[in-house]
Structure 1
């Protein structure tokens, strides 16, 4: 049975932390706010592996986009608002203004990064294509530009928008170590045995 947007959201909200975040964060009215990344797609892999929905989730990612003030102080103020709203959950919630990523990305990852135009642009740039998913905090809809077939099938492909082969292979191998049934699709130029 194919994975649907409603199905992914249902799986993700079986993790009580995701459910609480999706209940609380909309009230903060973050500009273009999304709950995104591993806390969502890992719920699907966990269901397919008979593991609890939140198993293996290191942190819960929240993206927003506010280009009216690109200062660290403005982003930190949003981070602190979110932290106050979720402190009792006892988990790490990572909040990032996607309008600022280009200011620090190259120094941290040794690769240029364009100035983005939306929070969705940030989701679009994940290393692994099938992990590009986010739940819009304004209306609860799922953003999944690659669809959900590869996610449900455990097919890890390099995102052509972020062709960083070594980082892709490292991250894909990390996922495969936790969910051994995942399959790494070697990017062009990578030897087949890299998977």
Structure 2
């Protein structure tokens, strides 16, 4: 079911609605249904494949429209090597390769080793995948989902109302203004109804 922007009624979006919405995306559904076969420690399906699905539905678009890749976080502090991460990526690709969509798997225990070189800012050592979700540039996009004991668990530290409202603000945990502005503009180019709040 698609939702038109600005016509939501009643209480703020809850986890049940969010889970129903993100599963309208065939690839999200297939990844979550195959989750146990991935064998990921502290694994979460995260980021654009979730919040962009919601924004597509709010916009009346197909849930998969324009989603470039599907991100998965896991946490393994025992082996911080790029080679270990590549082996996990290969294993996930072996399970999910038939979906025909790009899937990117990142070990959150090693983000601090490459983030500054890639983005130009230092990054603290994390203790869990959830802490990686906490540090997305835009708070409304800080969401993750994973199946646990037969049901989907949602991690949304900033709630879901700002996601459905399309509010884009700077995350105080990663106060990188130019990175935020670039990211917010890229989102606004695709969903014009999103609301960017002043970062100054």
Taking structure 2 as the reference length, the TM-score comes to 0.91
Shift of 1:61: 0.3
Counterpart of 1:65 in structure 2 is 75
- Equivalents in 1 of 2:147, 2:123: separation in Å? 25
Shift of 1:85: 0.6
Partners of 2:75 and 2:109 within 8 A in 1: yes
1:169 aligns with 2:181: yes
Shift of 1:27: 2.3
- Equivalents in 2 of 1:55, 1:3: separation in Å? 22
1:111 to 117, 121, 126: 121
- Equivalents in 2 of 1:137, 1:79: separation in Å? 19
Shift of 1:137: 3.9
Instruction: Please tell me the root mean square deviation across aligned C-alpha atoms, in Å.
Output: 1.0
Shift of 1:136: 2.3
Query: What 5-or-longer segments of structure 2 have no aligned partner?
Result: 1-8
Runs of 4+ in 1 over 4 A off after TM superposition: none
Counterpart of 2:161 in structure 1 is 149
- Equivalents in 2 of 1:137, 1:73: separation in Å? 27
Counterpart of 1:35 in structure 2 is 45
1:127 aligns with 2:103: no
Counterpart of 1:193 in structure 2 is none
Query: What 5-or-longer segments of structure 1 have no aligned partner?
Result: 190-195
Shift of 1:63: 0.2
- Aligned residue pairs, count: 188
Partners of 1:155 and 1:183 within 8 A in 2: yes
Partners of 1:35 and 1:137 within 8 A in 2: no
Partners of 1:32 and 1:138 within 8 A in 2: no
2:140 aligned counterpart, secondary structure:
helix
Shift of 1:163: 0.3
- Equivalents in 2 of 1:138, 1:94: separation in Å? 21
Taking structure 1 as the reference length, the TM-score comes to 0.94
Shift of 1:76: 1.0
1:85 aligns with 2:134: no
